[in-house]
A and B are shown apart, each in its own frame.
Chain A
Amino acid sequence: MNVKLKALKAAFPRTIPIMTGFLFLGAAYGIYARTSGLSAAAPILMAAVVFAGSMEFVAVDMLRGAFDPLNAFLMAIMVNARHLFYGMAMLDKYGKSGKKRWYLIFGLCDESFSINCTAEIPEDVDRGWFYFWVTALNQLYWVSGAALGALAGSFIHIELPGLDFVMTALLLVIFVENWLKERSHLSSIVGLAAALVCLLIFGSDSFIIPSMAVILILLTMLRKPIEKAMGETKS
């Protein structure tokens, strides 16, 4: 069978939960952008070239204010700094994916990362193409959702309070799934605890960067026990 098609068949089922989440969240984002006075093109363009959900919500808010590209640039780095982690985690996996890697890196959002980082890819499926399809399908869902919302937002007003919880549920389920698979829970606990403490200290607008710093420090300090726990075979 065609290598690309085989990889697509393996990748698609893994992206179905993301499809629902991205179509819902994307539509919510598109409607939000329209009700904020932006043209339909702005949220769709942003979905395609930024492809970082939470930052796009922030960006819509910034586009309602004053023209300040430097501030927008710095904000994007801060909100998306966690992607530095993803890049480091995927150095080896994406590095071996040939020219496709440039697109894989471009599309390294939370959801593509969590699927591609944790997926158990069958031996006979090409890894590079599996990563590619996960990334491309996720982006297709997100841009489609944004387009649906942006166009629908032009003439109808949908009120569905609580729908945005789909993002939270998604992130939670990804975490639980990884928890059930991982050999050592130390790192997961470090991440949860550090972020929770930093959220309480710094507040919801500025806890991400301190959390990352604390996580880096703690993981460095706990290197020996974590390496030992990860190296042991699962009983």
Chain B
Amino acid sequence: MTSFQIALMIAAVALGTMLTRFLPFFVFSGKKPVPKYVEYLGKALTGAALGLLVVYGFKNVNVLAGTHGLPELISLVIIVLLHVWKRNMLLSIAAGTGLYMLLVNFVFV
């Protein structure tokens, strides 16, 4: 691809992304109040969307082959326990990632 074509591709990706971000604000902004149902969804969707993202984070784990998802499972359990215990996001993320790297580089090789 030429530089111009690459720029056009990036613009297309930006446009698609921005559509998903701006659309709700154009559809529902204005004088009339947001429908109760939409208001409910706005509140109720937080937990569901975060749940979806967790699954998204683990989406490439293959339990049938390779390490059978064991490094991911061990790291997941440790991260959850550590976070419930300490409630320190940076610690949970750093320790969990460090543990996972140790597991895939030295234990499950």
Chain A residues with CB under 8 Å of chain B are 16-17, 20-21, 38-39, 42, 45-46, 49-52, 54-56, 59, 62-63, 67-70, 72-77, 80-92, 94-95, 101, 105-106, 108, 110, 113-114, 117-118, 160-163, 165-180, 182, 184-196, 199, 204, 207-208, 211-212, 215-216, 219-220, 223, 226-227, 230
Compute how far the CA of A182 lies from the CA of B50 in the bound complex, rounded to whole angstroms.
12
- When the two chains form their complex, are residues A191 and B84 in contact, meaning their CB atoms are under 8 A apart? no
Which chain A residues lie closer than 8 Å to B22 at the CB level? 87, 105-106
Which residues of B have CB within 8 Å of A70? 12
Contact B51 A88 (CB under 8 A): no
| A118 & B46 in contact (Cβ 8 Å cutoff) | yes
Asked whether any CB of chain A lies closer than 8 Å to the CB of B87, the reply is yes
B interface, how many residues as a size bin?
35 or more
Given A67-B5, A175-B54, A92 contacting B42 (CB threshold 8 A): yes
Contacts of A195 in B (CB 8 A): 51-52, 54-56
A196 contacts across to B, CB distance below 8 A: 55
A85-B49 in contact given A50-B10, A166-B97 (Cβ < 8 Å): yes
Interface of chain B: mostly helix, strand, loop or mixed? helix
Judging by beta carbons under 8 Å apart, are A88 and B15 in contact? Answer: no
* Residue ID in chain B nearest A113 by CB atoms: B49
> Given the interface contacts A110-B53, A176-B84, does A50 sit within 8 Å of B17 by beta carbon?
yes
Residues of chain B lying within 8 A (CB to CB) of residue A69: 8-9, 11-12
B96 interface neighbour in A52, A75, A165, Cβ under 8 Å: A165
Residues of A within 8 A of B54 (CB): 171-172, 175, 192, 195
Name the one of B9, B45, B46 contacting A59, with C-beta atoms under 8 angstroms: B9
Give A94's nearest chain B residue, CB to CB: B25
| CB contact between A204 and one of B5, B59, B90, B92 (< 8 Å): that residue | B59
Q: CA separation between A120 and B44, bound complex, in Å?
A: 18
Minimum CB–CB distance for B83 against chain A, Å = 5
For the complex of A and B, list the 5 residue pairs with the smallest distance between their C-beta atoms, beginning with the closest.
A191-B51, A76-B16, A191-B48, A87-B24, A188-B47
Question: Do most interface residues of chain A lie in helix, strand or loop, or is the interface mixed?
Answer: helix
- Are A215's CB and B52's CB within 8 A? yes
A200 to chain B, nearest CB (A): 10
5 A/B residue pairs, CB under 8 Å, sorted by A: A68-B9, A84-B23, A90-B42, A163-B97, A189-B51
* CB contact between A21 and one of B44, B55, B93 (< 8 Å): that residue: B93
Q: CB distance A171 to B43 under 8 Å? A: no
Verify A91–B105 contact, CB threshold 8 A.
Answer: no
**Residue on A with the closest CB to B57?**
A168
**Contact partners of A177 in chain B: CB under 8 A:** 83, 87, 89
Q: Which residues of B contact A56 (CB under 8 A)?
A: 13
Interface residues of B in 22-41 (CB under 8 A from A): 22-25, 28-29, 34, 37-41
Q: Say whether A73 contacts B12, CB under 8 Å.
A: yes
Q: Which residues from chain A contact B44 at a C-beta distance below 8 Å?
A: 187, 219, 223, 226-227, 230
Which B residues lie within 8 Å of A108 (CB)? Answer: 21
Expressed in whole angstroms, the Cα–Cα distance for A17 and B91 within the complex equals 9
Asked if A165 and B101 sit within 8 Å, CB to CB, the answer is yes
Check A165–B100 contact: CB distance below 8 A: yes
